[in-house]
Amino acid sequence: MEKVFHFDSPPEPYVADAAVLCCFDQRIRLAVYKFLQKRGILRPDMIVVAGGAKTLASPRNDFERDFILEQVRMSILLHKTERVFLMSHSDCATYGGLAAFGGDPDKEARHHKQELGRAAELIRGKFPEVQVACFFITFQGVFATGENSIEQVA
C-alpha cells in the first residue's frame, strides 16, 4: 500500500471511558465532542449512526436495534466499558426534524426525553453492570434528562 497521510496515533490498548451512541448529524458533532471532553470522556467508543438513541428506542427494525446492542456489548467486552451515554438531538431528520413536533422545541424535548428513557431501559435490562446516562443535544448545548445513573463527572 502507498502511504497517503502521516499521523502518529497512540498504539496502546485502552479502557473506554464510555460507549457513546449518537447521531451522525454533522451539526452536533462538535458539541458532542466538546461535551465529552468536558466530562473527562477522553477515550470514548463512538457508536455514530443515524438517529443515535432512536435505534434503541424506536428502531426501524429488529436488525437495527440488535446491531447497536451488539456494538455496546463489544465495547464492554473489548474495552471494559462501564458507562453508556445515549444521545439524541434537536431537529433530527430521522424523527422528521423539529417540524414533526409542529416547530415546538418543548414538545420535541419531551418526546426525546421519553425516547431516551426507553433506550436507557433497554440498555439497563441487557447490561445491568453498566451505568447509563442520557443526553439531548440542541443547537444551544447539551441537556441531561434528569434520570441519569451517572452524576456530574467534571
Site map (CB under 5 A) of Zn ion, residues 15-34, x = contact: --------x-x---------
Q: Which residue, 79 or 89, is less far from Zn ion as judged by CB? A: 89
User: Of 31, 46, 86, 92, which lies in the binding site for Zn ion, with binding defined by CB under 5 A?
Assistant: 92
Any contact of residue 49 with Zn ion (CB under 5 A)? no
Which residue bears the cell 451512541? 21
The 3-state secondary structure of 66-99, one letter per residue: HHHHHHHHHHHHHHCCCEEEEEEECCCHHHCCHH
Applying the rule CB under 5 A, the residues between 103 and 132 that interact with Zn ion are none
With CB under 5 A, what is the number of residues at the site for Zn ion?
Answer: 3
Question: How far apart are the two ends of the chain, measured CA to CA in Å?
Answer: 43
Tell me how far, at minimum, the Cβ of 24 lies from Zn ion, in Å.
7
CB atoms within 10 A of CB 63: 9
In terms of Cα–Cα distance, which of 96, 104, 90, 103 is closest to 140?
Answer: 90
Stretch that binds Zn ion, among 14-22, 91-99, 108-116, 134-142 (CB under 5 A): 91-99
> By the criterion CB under 5 A, which residues form the site for Zn ion?
23, 25, 92
